[in-house]
Amino acid sequence: MMKAFTKLTGTTIPLDRANVDTDAIIPKQFLKSIKRSGFGPNLFDEWRYLDHGEPGMDSQNRPVNSDFVLNKPRYQGASVLLARKNFGCGSSREHAPWALEDFGIRCIIAPSFADIFFNNCFKNGILPIVQSERVVDALFKACEATEGYQLTIDLATQTITTPDGETFSFEVDAFRKHCLLNGLDDIGMTLQHVEDIKIYEEKRRVQAPWLFV
Amino acid sequence: MTAKTLYDKLWDAHVVRVDEGGASLIYIDRHLVHEVTSPQAFEGLRLSGRKVWRSDANLATPDHNVPTTDRQSGIADPIARLQVETLDANCDYFGITEFKMDDIRQGIVHVVGPEQGATLPGMTVVCGDSHTSTHGAFGALAHGIGTSEVEHVLATQCLIQKRSKSLLVSVDGEVNAGVTAKDIVLAIIGEIGTAGGTGYAIEFAGEAIMALSMEGRMTVCNMAIEAGARAGIIAVDKTTIDYVKGRPYAPQGDHWPMAVEAWSDLHSDADAEFDKVVHLSAATIKPQVTWGTSPEMVIAIDALVPDPANELDVVKREGMEAALAYMGLQANSPINQVMIDRAFIGSCTNSRIEDLRAAATVAKGRKVARSVKQALVVPGSGLVKQQAEAEGLDQIFIEAGFEWREPGCSMCLAMNADRLGAGERCASTSNRNFEGRQGQGGRTHLVSPAMAAAAAIAGHFIDVADLDSLSTGAE
Ligand code: SF4
């Protein structure tokens, strides 16, 4: 079952780069795993560590890049990620949202996202929020200036609230919102329409019988 | 009846139901499966006690992780081996046909599907891989999906989707000699940019597109995703039908004429409206080489590396400067003087028989330059390899100094042992020139198979047409 997303108040990390691709989020060598979990320690591996990461390494003993924002003590335990435009471009790997989720990120706020990544987030209990460049920029500035900066995201009311009490509303597709709020996975939803699928299939079997041999 | 685009026809034919919010349940005719994006989907099915809805609609093969050298000794990397073994076990357990590593039909999933006739006109085709757009060359609606969607298709044979906008890219007139499908698609991406197709399904059309073979059309559709579009499609014509006929999964007997009849409608109606239309003149397209770290950073072989100083947009200028620094190139230097370290001919973009023939024509009777450390030829499937060997292409390559390998993704993404070292420069027939794509610190230039072979021979990028006037110093 997917984790539901209702309301979240969390420490916010500002990742100040545009066009962050899925290879940067989780490098290809970690795609050899057959599991869905355990990718958190290798999130942004090439930026986070000074050595070259390979699966099976103990991340506790690796040299850490203390300049990288994820490693700063003030952002430990964060659950909201601020990002720049075209976040998640590149491949279709769902390992990218798995790594983010495993690390503890439940919400990403950016001016734009790549299509397949955006879609993949919703399937993993992560809420990607599109905000204007101007709002995202303001959040970046406030977050960097304020230690312990926490944003509150309320999916039901579709609002982001800053520590000062300022609120921004956001758009979200009605179907996706419903699934996230209730922690419903798509498969369970689709299987409520088994009859429709069967009816379609019968029709198709008559029209295009060569597809069913 | 209103005029429809090809995309509309394919979409409308696959809608199972539409919910109040406008999301549609779309039926999937063919699901292709490989080892990297499927294990967690199968695990999900098991954990929830669900079955595969229609095992005969699935076809699997390992490709990303397989070694391209000696297969006898298996996969050395234990983690990669486990992933391939997991695919084998899942396919056996759920009754899915798989071309395993030692099967002559094994290969890159986007080469194998069409080769088997498992990709057919009018189908919806999905796979947990962004280059599934390749299959659109057959007049099929094909796109990449994430692992949750792989599980969704396995369990329900459907996907929840929203209709895309439609973009027509028409390449008008004829291309000049020496200009291939790869050059056409790189020129298109150079024109519309890597986000030019975001939110759209692209239909490729025009005389130059319809004059292409199926191999060429697949090369074009393969890179639709590099233009930001999840799907690229091309209308069905005689070329399509001739290619499909007689393949193992193609309609047989009475079904064949029925299918051909149904496929005759798979084109956009003459007066169909697109949300956006782009025209390119084929005659202006020259052989292409990428110079940067995004497929849109592309120029003609006789051009100079662009100068960021001439770019007015600040974000773009910074992107160009970063790309030049990563690629180790000077602005305003001729691209055809840039020396390469390695050449890679392969990947789902360019590893079909026609691609290998084009490269072999260039390689024949010539030698790979001494300065080139490695020139790899990796066929897209076991059957492509077999065909090439029957035509003697392997001997041409080997005599010229190329390595002749077993089929797989190989150096396209360097998940197996084939990769670039830091700072090494590669003429590659693959589709992504992102930083680190072919190995950390590696520098990728995307080109056609003929151009990659020519670069291997000359030691630097060169127009194939100029190869004869060159003394390679290899004699
Ligand atoms: S050849 Fe390259 S692009 Fe194609 S499926 Fe394999 S890794 Fe992906």
pLDDT band of B302, cuts 50, 70, 90: very high
Is the pLDDT at B475 greater than 70? The verdict is: no
**Residues of chain A neighbouring B27 (CB-CB closer than 8 A):** 197, 200-201, 204
Kindly state the percentage of chain B with pLDDT values over 70: 99
Distance CA(B128)–CA(B39), nearest Å, equals: 11
**A115 with B50: Cβ contact below 8 A:** no
Atom of ligand 1 nearest to the CA of B130: 8
B115 and B353 in contact (C-beta within 8 Å)? no
**A193 with B16: Cβ contact below 8 A:** yes
As a 3-state breakdown, chain B gives helix, strand, coil percent values, each rounded to 5, of 35, 15, 45
Q: Is A204 in the B-facing interface, judged by CB distances under 8 Å?
A: yes
**A175 with B19: Cβ contact below 8 A:** yes
Which of A118-122, B86-90, B276-280 is predicted least confidently?
A118-122
**B16 with A196: Cβ contact below 8 A:** yes
What is the enclosing helix (H) or strand (E) of B428?
A: strand B425-428
Q: What is the whole-number distance in angstroms between the Cα of residue B130 and the centre of ligand 1? A: 9
Q: What is the whole-number distance in angstroms between the Cα of residue B324 and the centre of ligand 1? A: 25
Distance CA(B395)–CA(B356), nearest Å, equals: 12
Which of A193-197, B65-69, B369-373 is predicted least confidently?
B65-69
B231 and B201 in contact (C-beta within 8 Å)? yes
**A28 with B258: Cβ contact below 8 A:** no
**B130 with A92: Cβ contact below 8 A:** yes
Which residue shows structure tokens 């849109």? B296
pLDDT band of B61, cuts 50, 70, 90: very high
Distance CA(B428)–CA(B346), nearest Å, equals: 8
**Residues of chain B neighbouring A193 (CB-CB closer than 8 A):** 16-17, 25
pLDDT in tens, B125-139: 999 999 999 999 999
Residues 6+ apart with CB under 8 A from A203: none
pLDDT in tens, A65-106: 999 999 999 999 999 999 998 899 878 899 999 999 999 999
Distance CA(B376)–CA(B337), nearest Å, equals: 21
Residue minimizing CA distance to atom 6 of ligand 1 = B409
- From start to end of B74-228, where are the E strands? 97-98, 124-127, 141-144, 158-161, 165-172, 200-205
Q: What is residue B440's DSSP assignment? A: T
pLDDT band of B386, cuts 50, 70, 90: very high
Which among B144, B147, B158 has CB closest to A190? Answer: B158
Give B325-328's long-range contacts (Cβ < 8 A, gap of 24+).
Answer: B326/B293, B326/B435, B326/B443, B327/B291, B327/B292, B327/B293, B327/B425, B327/B443, B328/B423, B328/B425, B328/B443
Kindly state the percentage of chain B with pLDDT values over 90: 86
Substitution site in B36, B135, B218, B430 for ligand 1 pocket (most atoms within 8 Å of beta carbon): B430
Report the gap between the CA of A210 and the closest CA in chain B (Å): 5
Distance CA(B185)–CA(B285), nearest Å, equals: 10
Which chain B residue is nearest to residue A120, measuring alpha carbons? B146
Residue minimizing CA distance to atom 2 of ligand 1 = B412
What is the enclosing helix (H) or strand (E) of B356?
A: helix B353-363
**Residues of chain B neighbouring A88 (CB-CB closer than 8 A):** none
For chain A positions 43-102, those within 8 Å of chain B (CB to CB) are: 46, 52, 55-56, 86, 90-94
Report the gap between the CA of B156 and the closest CA in chain A (Å): 7
Residue minimizing CA distance to atom 1 of ligand 1 = B347
**Residues of chain B neighbouring A200 (CB-CB closer than 8 A):** 16, 27
In this predicted structure, what is the pLDDT of residue B19? 85
Compute how many other C-beta atoms are within 10 angstroms of the C-beta atom of residue B310. Answer: 10
Q: Which pair of tokens denotes residue B419?
A: 């990769």
Report the gap between the CA of A163 and the closest CA in chain B (Å): 31
For chain A positions 148-177, those within 8 Å of chain B (CB to CB) are: 173-175
**A119 with B414: Cβ contact below 8 A:** no
Distance CA(B337)–CA(A199), nearest Å, equals: 62
3-state secondary structure of A9: strand
Which residue shows structure tokens 């035509």? B391
Residue minimizing CA distance to atom 5 of ligand 1 = B348
pTM, full prediction: 0.93
Q: What does B383-403 look like in DSSP terms, one character per residue? A: HHHHHHHHTTHHHHHHHHT-E
Which of B40-49, B298-307, B361-370, B414-423 is predicted least confidently?
B414-423
What is the pLDDT averaged over residues B14-43? 94
Which residue shows structure tokens 């990769």? B419
Burial B378-388 (b: 16+ CB within 10 A, else e): bbbbbbbbebb
In this predicted structure, what is the pLDDT of residue B1? 67
A14 and A110 in contact (C-beta within 8 Å)? no
What is the pLDDT averaged over residues B169-189? 97
What is the pLDDT averaged over residues B196-209? 94
Q: How far is CA B266 from the centre of its chain?
A: 22
Closest CA to B159 of A112, A1, A200: A200
Which among B16, B36, B44 has CB closest to A197? Answer: B16
**Residues of chain A neighbouring B50 (CB-CB closer than 8 A):** 187
**B130 with A116: Cβ contact below 8 A:** yes
A-B contacts (CB, under 8 Å): 145
In this predicted structure, what is the pLDDT of residue B219? 98
Residues 6+ apart with CB under 8 A from A188: none
In this predicted structure, what is the pLDDT of residue B194? 83
**A173 with B21: Cβ contact below 8 A:** yes
ipTM: 0.91
The per-residue pLDDT string of chain A (213 residues; one tens digit each, 9 = 90 and over) reads: 678 999 999 999 999 988 788 988 999 899 999 998 999 999 999 899 999 899 989 999 999 999 999 999 999 999 999 999 889 987 889 999 999 999 999 999 999 998 889 999 999 999 999 999 999 999 999 999 999 999 999 999 999 999 999 999 999 998 899 999 999 888 988 999 999 999 999 999 999 999 998
In this predicted structure, what is the pLDDT of residue B474? 43
Which chain B residue is nearest to residue A91, measuring alpha carbons? B130
- From start to end of B122-190, where are the E strands? 124-127, 141-144, 158-161, 165-172
Atom of ligand 1 nearest to the CA of B431: 3
pLDDT band of B391, cuts 50, 70, 90: very high
